[in-house]
DNA sequence: TAGTGGTCTAGACCACCCT
DNA sequence: GGGTGGTCTAGACCACTAA
């Protein structure tokens, strides 16, 4: 663990423990630098981390301050890439499950090949799953993975976590993902599997996940019942803000 | 403009111009430092900016590379902090306008007061606007601002940019925003103003904008015609990723 | 093993806030 | 004007990639 990340962790722990209360000012960077026996630049990098995690904010000429919901945030660990979070009414007393409707291998269509940056002769897995909460279906999920990137995918794995398999077994690093969200009318499949009425809208999410180097890893299209799923986003000010 | 941002802009221009082609490797940081007559750390900061903007990626020990869709991205200007971007078919040959349906002041409801962290006796502006593209309405927008934060708001300002007014005139710094997105059936207002049919779903976006210090600045609820608006998200791996 | 990016330092100067 | 954060430097060492 590098120094500035370690220092960020330490400060976060202290915030979590209430040593630096909500809305209070942190010691100035010079003081922190001495305290952690390091240089000011390193402290700055640590504070930047906490700042972009939404735990503190800084005002030039004034100081760095603990945000009012920081304690809650510091605990929540905001698993990143999940600042886009999908919430159903998940809780302790709810039962989440999934049913694999289809698992097969085929060649991609022209559009799919383009999106996943494949040749037409490179096969993909095609997976269709129904997400169920307390016996009520809420999402219909359609997913493609290039076979070359995720070899030996089995139905076994599908029932656990595909992502854990990809990260821990295949040791691939995730990069960015792009999503498009729209409202649409229910398709025939939606009516069949999600039990939508003719005028029940669905929330459609189209997503491409990329690896760290930009290689497309996954294409998915998910239809959610509008009365069971909504999406939450937290947007922090980007580092490029104000550049243009 | 500080140096590292300026350098980032320069490099972005060169990428846009095709001087650094897609997938090519940039000169190493030492070389760039000499070229821009600066230190390596400053170059690093510039490259970090481009990297978090999704224009390049770097591999330790190997180099910095131009992403394959970088040219497109560099042009789209993806106004940052808007890595959540709303796209209608905005282009050169389209006419965007807005109509103010309502502009008034009142006391907030209990829920609203809680969301905006106000007391019941602190007034808010209530604004209703219809967004129009080429004579076709596409979004119905309902917004609340605390009067105390945005004094002297006039209908004049509404027709220009509220945000510009807030940033440049009032000198307030924006912080994070939180959004909830869902699909829903059209309300009576939607049918009236957005000309929705009974079974036309709408894309509903509920948002709270905060200032840098966490003070809630704005609450809004927008209904979009599903056939004219979709939302795009780009999720980059956060800087805190892997810290825990 | 050579090349390259990531981190870290110690100190400098500037921009900004606050009183 | 004193305190504080933001940027920048020049150089060092380490971690990783690629041949």
Question: Which residue from A117, A106, A89, A99 is spatially nearest to A192, judged by alpha carbons?
Answer: A99
Q: Is the pLDDT reported for residue B156 higher than 90?
A: no
Count of positions (residues) in chain A: 244
Contact B5, B49 (CB under 8 A): yes
| A6 vs B172: CA distance, rounded Å | 32
pLDDT digits (tens, 9 = 90+) for A37-82: 999 999 999 999 999 888 899 999 999 999 887 666 555 433 223 3
Q: Mean pLDDT over residues A204-233, rounded? A: 88
Q: Mean pLDDT over residues B196-220, rounded? A: 90
| A77 vs A57: CA distance, rounded Å | 17
Positions 57-76 in B, CB within 7 angstroms of strand C? 58-64
Please check whether residue B2 touches A, CB under 8 A: no
Range with lowest mean pLDDT among A174-183, A188-197, B72-81, B96-105: B72-81
Q: Which residues of A touch B220 (CB under 8 A)?
A: none
For residues B218, B223, B225, B226, the Cα torsion angle rounded to the nearest 10 degrees is: 100
The H or E element that residue A13 is part of is: helix A3-16
Contact B49, B10 (CB under 8 A): no
Q: Mean pLDDT over residues B55-78, rounded? A: 76
Q: What is the pLDDT of residue A124?
A: 95
Q: Mean pLDDT over residues B150-171, rounded? A: 77
Range with lowest mean pLDDT among A108-117, A147-156, B59-68: A147-156
Q: What is the pLDDT of residue B155?
A: 83
pLDDT digits (tens, 9 = 90+) for A119-139: 999 999 999 999 888 888 999
The answer to whether the beta carbon of residue A62 comes closer than 7 angstroms to any atom of strand D is yes
Long-range CB pairs of A199-203, under 8 A, 24+ apart, other chains included: A199/B185, A199/B198, A199/B199, A200/A225, A200/A226, A200/A227, A201/A226, A201/B183, A201/B184, A201/B185, A201/B201, A201/B202, A201/B226, A202/A226, A202/B183, A202/B201, A203/A229, A203/A230, A203/A231, A203/B181, A203/B182, A203/B183
pTM of the shown model: 0.80
Strands A174-184 and B230-235: antiparallel
Q: Which residues of B touch A237 (CB under 8 A)?
A: 80-81, 174-176, 212
SS3 content of chain A, % helix, strand, coil (to 5): 25, 35, 40
Residues 201-220 of B with CB under 8 A from A: 201-204, 212-214
Residue with the two structure tokens 């008034």 = B104
**Of A157 and B41, the one with more pLDDT:** B41
Query: Is B241 in Cβ contact with A8 (below 8 Å)?
Result: no
């Amino acid at each position: 663990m590098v120094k500035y990340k370690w220092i960020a962790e330490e400060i976060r722990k202290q915030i979590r423990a209430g040593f630096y209360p909500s809305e209070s000012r942190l010691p100035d960077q010079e003081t922190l630098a001495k305290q952690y026996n390091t240089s000011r630049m390193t402290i700055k990098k640590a504070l930047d981390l906490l700042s972009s995690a939404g735990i503190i904010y800084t005002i030039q000429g004034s100081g760095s301050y603990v945000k009012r919901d920081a304690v809650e945030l510091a605990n929540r660990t905001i698993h990143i890439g999940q600042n886009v979070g999908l919430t159903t009414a998940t809780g302790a007393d709810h039962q989440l499950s999934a049913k694999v409707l289809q698992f097969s291998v085929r060649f991609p269509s022209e559009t799919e090949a383009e999106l996943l940056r494949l040749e037409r002769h490179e096969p993909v897995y095609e997976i269709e799953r129904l997400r169920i909460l307390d016996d009520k279906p809420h999402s219909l999920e359609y997913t493609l993975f290039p076979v070359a990137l995720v070899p030996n995918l089995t139905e076994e794995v599908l029932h656990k976590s595909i992502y854990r398999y990809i990260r821990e077994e295949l040791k691939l690093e995730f990069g960015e993902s792009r999503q498009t969200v729209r409202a649409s009318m229910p398709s025939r499949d939606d009516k069949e599997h999600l039990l939508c009425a003719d005028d029940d809208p669905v929330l459609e999410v189209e997503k491409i996940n990329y690896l760290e180097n930009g290689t497309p890893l996954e294409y998915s299209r998910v239809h959610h019942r509008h009365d069971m799923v909504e999406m939450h986003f937290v947007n922090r000010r980007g580092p490029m803000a104000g550049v243009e």
